[in-house]
A and B are shown apart, each in its own frame.
Chain A
Amino acid sequence: MRKFLSALAAATMLAGVADAATVYPLDRATILVGSPFDFKVEFDGVVKQEDVKVTINGQDAKSVLGADVEFVADEQDKDGKSLGSAVILRAAKVAKAGAYKVEVSAGDQAKTVTWDVFGTSATPKAKNVIFLLADGLSVSHRTGARLMSKGMTEGKANGRLFMDDLDHMAFIGTSATNAVATDSANTMSAYMTGHKTAINALGVYADRTPDSLDDPRVENIAEAVRRLTKKSIGVVSTAEIEDATPAAVIAHTRKRGDKADIATMFLDTKPDVILGGGSAYFLSKDVAGSKRKDDKDLIKAFKDDGYTLATDKSELASAAGTNSGKILGLFHTGNMDVTLDREFLKKGTVEKFPNQPGLKDMTKVALEQLSKNPEGFFLMVEGASVDKMSHPMDWDRSLIETIEFDQVVGMAREFAKAHPDTLIVVTGDHTHGVSIIGTIDDEKPGTEMREKVGVYADAGFPNYEDKDGDGFPDKVDVSRRLAIFANNYPDYYETFRPKMDGPFEPAIENEKKEYVANPAYKDVPGAVLREGNLPRNADTAVHAVDDVVLQAAGPGAGEFKGYMEESDVYRVLADVLALGSSENM
């Protein structure tokens, strides 16, 4: 047995040596036929240029990729230390769909990967695609939104969410190329490019060099739509518009934190409608509130390009009436406030930015504007704060965001009724470790809050009301409310109550860069310290690795079924819009 194991270990080590080179796009990559992508091979250590061999399906790489690779003698890390040789070809293209076997070698290093270069339907199945993404949307968010918004009697929901009636559905695997876990950059990047990538990366494979802007690029949907169609493009989010999800539509960077660069990248594809927060990255560094480190004035750049600027709800309404066809709406220097604060509690930063539009206001304007184009459009709408409020375990804010997002799904469905050549996709990018387990009933005896948690038959039903019929509960701090808990957390004080004074901040950082329970909640009646089960450097609850549920309706929606990788979703979008038809080659 021991002998067998050591033989196995030796074989594994040998395989390790032989596999040392890394090829981008990675093994099993799916590539839209004709789309430009950067081809790169990273060798382990320095190799001689004359030793490098790259063949694709047995042919010289140049004949398949359209140009010759460039040899880089030695790449270096941030301290100037040698990383090894590489070959790179920017904007390579494969002109014919099919399976491609890429073989590279140099000295004793060899690596073989296969690519699936895919074509699409010859003619478009839909004119418009509306891609609706609630960041972090998990099954609990859907269930909670339904219970809060519609109520339940004798075990049956008293009403349905708009997303409950979408026709087709798939389970989506969200993992990154470098981890089973995942973030909003690599996930949305997979949706918007068809290539999975590493955590924090957008529109690139993550290479080894320290520069975050030189990584091997792949084409994103905005570029594909611009390259092949005359359709309009819209990007709408309640987050900073440079945040990972909206950025993935247009950007290329290894680091989602390169927000100043991402803001500038919006000028590359110039989406016709750009609505969200994050104006701080559009302002030159000398303006107070700017988060740029240079003198670029992107507001001016967009205006010069013919965009109508809107900075609040009223300006958005008047921008909708202009004929420029292009709207830049920035409604907050950072992330926009959530619906519960914006519409009901007036907490968060609503006092500073009192007239922010909501996701519905923004989507309405985007649909009106984009649908003026007879060629059709691609619109991405993100309900960003389902996630942003799930991280700090502020479940009430997160569920209200889900309800608002669902109402946007309703608007999209209404639009599709009048424009049946529209594919609607409704999904999350990843999930959270959250579950609803019953109710919390203030009327139950005692002072200890955990004794007020109703489980099984003791849970009964929550007593939210929606007397004004706006779909939102009239108040979230009802006496018998949903009991929602995360399965992962830093140290924090569990209060068992909605956070009426502003979004929850469960933990704060100490001088050792460890997160400790935020003492601000210590004296809330009934609060108990819950010792974290996450590493002490985790500031809030984290994303789950659980599958996302994707739903769709409209032409091509039937292609969503069973289990799919996030990157496979792009293939459906490309097929529906015929982005890989032979006519386009």
Chain B
Amino acid sequence: MGKVLSGSRFRRRDVLAMIGLSPMITLAKPALAAPTQLSFDDLYGKISVLGLEFSDKVKSLDGRDVEMSGFMAPPLKAEAKFFVLTEIPMSICPFCSTDADWPDNIAVVYLDEAQTFVQAGVRIDVTGKLEVGSWTDPETGFLSRLRLRGATYSVA
């Protein structure tokens, strides 16, 4: 599984390479730059009862490519275009239990295509464009505040 996924990770670059024109590659260079590492500890600058505040690092990376490492929470459906990335493996299921909650520190990962999911307890690395701010998924009503768009992932 890991092999297939690490293949998909390079798909975007392959497409760019197939276009093959050198000016294009130059233009695409910022996207090819190594993504900035973002850890779960980096997410918040201030944590309080009256709200959390994203760190300066998160704010400055809004719209940029980042890489986060974590665990994939089991999704709503077996194949889905988004999943929730958590710092530690989920021991409850907020999609199933009426009173279970997501932790504060999650990122929602949007994939270009629906994917099947890796096993629980397996660490993954995710790369995508960071998007900061509240947004409701039109299909599922799932509200998120931190997203990785156009993301790919591989087993760490």
**What is A's interface to B at a CB cutoff of 8 Å?**
200, 240, 243-244, 255-257, 259, 279-280, 283, 285-291, 293, 299, 311-312, 330-334, 352-353, 392, 505-511, 513, 516, 518-520, 537, 539-540
Contacts and interface: CB of A to CB of B under 8 A. Distances in A.
Contacts of A511: 74-75, 78, 116-120
Interface string B125-154: 000000000101000010101000000000
Dominant SS among interface residues on chain A:
loop
For the residues of B in contact with A, the DSSP-based class is: loop
Nearest to B95: A513
Contacts of B51: 283, 287-290
A257 B47 CA distance: 24
Contacts of B116: 511
Interface stretch (B4-12, B13-21, B31-39, B84-92): B84-92
B155 interface: no
Contacts of B111: none
B98 A513 contact: no
A309 to B, nearest CB: 9
A286 B134 contact: yes
Contacts of A291: 101
A289 to B, nearest CB: 4
B90 A508 contact: yes
A508 B121 contact: yes
B27 interface: no
Given A283-B51, A509-B120, A289 B104 contact: yes
Query: Which of under 10, 10 to 19, 20 to 34, or 35 or more describes the interface residues of B?
Result: 35 or more
A539 B91 contact: yes
B143 A311 contact: no
Contacts of B104: 280, 289, 333-334
B40 interface: no
Nearest to A312: B49
Query: Which of B98, B118, B136 counts the most chain A CB atoms within 10 A?
Result: B98
A256 B104 CA distance: 20
B25 interface: no
B56 interface: no
Contacts of A519: 121
Contacts of B47: 289, 352-353
Interface of B: 44, 47-54, 73-75, 78, 88-93, 96-101, 103-104, 116-121, 134, 136, 141, 143, 145
Nearest to A311: B49
Nearest to B142: A293
Given A511-B120, A539-B93, A333 B49 contact: yes
Contacts of B75: 511
B99 A513 contact: no
B120 A293 contact: no
A291 B98 CA distance: 14
Contacts of B136: 293
B89 A508 contact: yes
A519 B123 CA distance: 12
Given A311-B48, A537-B96, A539-B97, 7 more contacts: A256-B99, A257-B100, A288-B53, A299-B50, A330-B49, A353-B49, A511-B117
B50 A518 contact: no
Contact of A505 (B53, B54, B91, B145): B91
A226 B111 CA distance: 52
Contacts of B50: 279, 283, 287, 299, 311
Contacts of B90: 508-509
Contacts of A539: 91-93, 97
B33 to A, nearest CB: 27
B119 A331 contact: no
The listed residue with most A CB atoms (<10 A of its CB), out of B44, B53, B54, B145, is B145
B125 to A, nearest CB: 18
Contact of B74 (A259, A330, A505, A509): A509
A540 B117 CA distance: 23
A279 B49 contact: yes
10 pairs of A and B residues whose beta carbons are closest in the complex: A257-B98, A289-B52, A287-B51, A505-B91, A510-B120, A508-B89, A311-B49, A288-B52, A511-B117, A279-B49
Contacts of A293: 136, 141, 143
A255 B98 CA distance: 7
Nearest to A183: B99
Contacts of B88: 505
9 contacts: A285-B143, A333-B52, A506-B91, A508-B120, A508-B121, A509-B90, A511-B74, A518-B91, A520-B89
A508 B91 contact: yes
A312 B103 CA distance: 20
Nearest to A299: B50
B49 A518 contact: no
Contact of A285 (B49, B74, B78, B134): B134
B110 to A, nearest CB: 18
B101 A516 contact: no
A516 B120 contact: yes
Contacts of B92: 509, 539-540
B120 A243 contact: no
Contact of B119 (A240, A311, A353, A510): A510
Contacts of A513: 74, 93, 96
Contacts of A240: 101
B143 A518 contact: no
A259 B94 CA distance: 13
A507 B44 contact: no
A256 B48 contact: no
Nearest to B117: A511
B61 to A, nearest CB: 15
Contacts of B134: 285-286, 290
A288 B121 contact: no
Contacts of A243: 99
